[in-house]
Structure 1
């Protein structure tokens, strides 16, 4: 039994305070600004209003978030806490500076009920501890690569418990050639700036970060897009260190040797462009993008794979995108600049609903 309830006012108030503190760090860590906004009272109450039926917390939730996206653990934990659960979040020792800043704020905010029911812990690989935490959980939330998720699922859960898994995913962008040509120079640059945010935050390693662009329609404006991306990366001060430069050379030449790439262009230290009939879904390094061409969204549908998650778009209307979504089966279709914006519906799961259980009463 948890001492919290679904939508517990004490949790809502704590999240609001927590979010406001994170907003203040947004200048140093831009990703924390989005997180802080998500935790505000108005937003959490809006999420709670979506729940239907009689609900109660699931109980104890054990979260194992990825190391390469510093903010995911807060979104996952916050929604579960909002659902009234007792939570244990295992944070990787390899987590970055933004994660450490989040934990610093966490420790500064003293709230007895939060301290009793919510735990953020860090430990290196420890099978005994992972097994103990798994056995105690009513729900286990696993984020990461396929191999990591598979390895963690080997630790038994209680018979009534289950896993909520978020394994390897890939994402790509689509641009309407006609829409690009209709756009003004200012709109095109704004689109590329938004694409830069989608791709370069989290070193293009987030599941929703685009790794390629499909140009849809007649014509090929990709050269202008690439030139703008080089300019934006320079303006934003993106720096590619020597190790990453070597990584990109090795991985792109390897993709070419495997026959997956027809042409490689090193546009700048920050931008590498590949040409291929299909995007390369592997992470090849920060700033490596496949450019592919299709005549229509209908032609793109057969190229979509089960692991494709987010499609970012520019230049399309709603009807075109809705028709594509119905056929393609991806989880999210969002505008440029929104790839990394967390949603309570993620990978097809309504997380707040998943973190609660429905109760039925019949008379």
Structure 2
């Protein structure tokens, strides 16, 4: 008996395809059919006039090109020994427009059929991506059984049903979402991949920054990391740590924030409620901590300077251009904020060897990614400490 999906809106796929997904055979990883499909999907988006207005869509399309996918494929030496696990059920966050598409891409490349619950918010980027998928599927009908993108309101019954079908459940969307979804049991051999609430920080060496001629380019990189998604991405730095002596830091800070304010004034439409929320968050944070002072006069780029870091430093955070700052004389001073909640460390002017030595010496519970400033939003198949291709596939061992 086919389940009823009266409360489910199908953006890509059909009820019959969804019902059949639980018995769909797994595919080889990075199969030619999958790469060809994603390459055509990429081409469709890159040629679509509307995509030019959405940098996040353009980034997705560029990543899905055949050349980029073949490069990713070369990172895995054991692909002939792997198969997809089966049905992957993706629950994606409601505050980032394209996260669902990245999760879907990982599921397809790892050989799975994919049921994706879209954000409840009607992002225009999501509509464009679904349009592209539907158009490209017309030329790749063999891929249709492997992806189904749906929307439905919070419904324990549907969560229970889809969870009972899947071999892997990916929960993107924060701690509360994880707690709710885990009330729906999985089959005994199924896996949960949970992407919890995280935070990120930037580390800038003052001397190296001052030596850079094109400081406007640095500001543009930091703007893309933060304002582009309104600091809603867990990868967006909320804390900026300056490294060096105080005099050089003072000089670097003045130039850095001035460049960012100029850029934000030209590009970022500050809403009154966002401005009010930032000031309110500062007041709340300041009342709870005696280690905080306002470091900016304008609200567009709102800065609060900390006199010390601890495990609660980033518990209070706000979006829309709200930044904490800390002045450090040694790299080790960031250790208190490198707990399990710390995801990405964006660096400018700090040597790779110094970061590796810090990680080897202190082995913090957090920091899953170290990237250059300006690259925090760049997707990778290694995310939040998981290798998604390995986690979403099973390895067949031969002992002959």
After TM superposition, the score normalised by the length of structure 1 is: 0.94
Q: 2:119 aligns with which of 92, 96, 105?
A: 92
- Superposed displacement of residue 3, structure 1: 5.4
**2:164·2:186 contact (CA, 8 Å) conserved in 1?**
yes
**1:251·1:285 contact (CA, 8 Å) conserved in 2?**
no
Q: 2:161 aligns with which of 112, 126, 132?
A: 132
Q: 2:87 matched to 1:64?
A: no
**1:226·1:267 contact (CA, 8 Å) conserved in 2?**
no
- Provide Cα deviations, 1:197-229, integer angstroms capped at 9, x if missing partner: 101121101010000100111122323222111
Q: 2:148 matched to 1:119?
A: yes
- Provide Cα deviations, 1:111-151, integer angstroms capped at 9, x if missing partner: 32222221011111111111100000000001111111111
Say which SS state the counterpart of residue 27 (structure 1) adopts. helix
In the alignment, what sits opposite 2:52? Answer: 27
**2:27·2:83 contact (CA, 8 Å) conserved in 1?**
no
Quickly say closer, same or farther: Cα 1:265–1:178, change in 2 above 3 A.
closer
- Provide Cα deviations, 1:26-77, integer angstroms capped at 9, x if missing partner: 4210111211111111122222222233011100110001111111211111
In the alignment, what sits opposite 1:351? Answer: 388
In the alignment, what sits opposite 2:289? Answer: 259
In the alignment, what sits opposite 2:17? Answer: none
**1:191·1:314 contact (CA, 8 Å) conserved in 2?**
no
In the alignment, what sits opposite 1:173? Answer: 202
Aligned mates of 2:382, 2:327 — CA distance in 1: 30
Aligned mates of 1:12, 1:223 — CA distance in 2: 47
After TM superposition, the score normalised by the length of structure 2 is: 0.86
Q: 2:271 matched to 1:241?
A: yes
**1:196·1:233 contact (CA, 8 Å) conserved in 2?**
yes
- Superposed displacement of residue 266, structure 1: 4.6
Q: 2:62 matched to 1:37?
A: yes
Q: 2:350 aligns with which of 313, 316, 322?
A: 316
- Superposed displacement of residue 88, structure 1: 0.2
In the alignment, what sits opposite 1:215? Answer: 242
Q: What number of residue pairs does the alignment pair up? A: 360
Q: 2:361 matched to 1:330?
A: no
**1:211·1:281 contact (CA, 8 Å) conserved in 2?**
no
Q: How does 1:271-310 map to 2 (within 5 A)?
A: 271-276=301-306, 277-278=308-309, 279-310=313-344
In the alignment, what sits opposite 2:180? Answer: 151
5+ residue gaps, structure 2, are 1-23
Question: Greater shift after overlay, 139-148 or 242-251?
Answer: 242-251
Question: Greater shift after overlay, 318-327 or 246-255?
Answer: 318-327
Aligned mates of 1:281, 1:20 — CA distance in 2: 41
In the alignment, what sits opposite 1:15? Answer: 38
Say which SS state the counterpart of residue 84 (structure 1) adopts. coil
Aligned mates of 1:260, 1:20 — CA distance in 2: 53
- Superposed displacement of residue 333, structure 1: 1.0
**2:26·2:84 contact (CA, 8 Å) conserved in 1?**
no
Quickly say closer, same or farther: Cα 1:243–1:303, change in 2 above 3 A.
closer
- Provide Cα deviations, 1:252-294, integer angstroms capped at 9, x if missing partner: 1111111165212454342101011235353313100011111
Q: 1:227 aligns with which of 258, 263, 284?
A: 258
RMSD of equivalent CA atoms: 1.7
Aligned mates of 1:230, 1:325 — CA distance in 2: 33
- Provide Cα deviations, 1:92-127, integer angstroms capped at 9, x if missing partner: 221422112111212222232222221011111111
Quickly say closer, same or farther: Cα 1:260–1:8, change in 2 above 3 A.
farther
**2:26·2:83 contact (CA, 8 Å) conserved in 1?**
no
Q: 1:340 aligns with which of 340, 363, 377?
A: 377
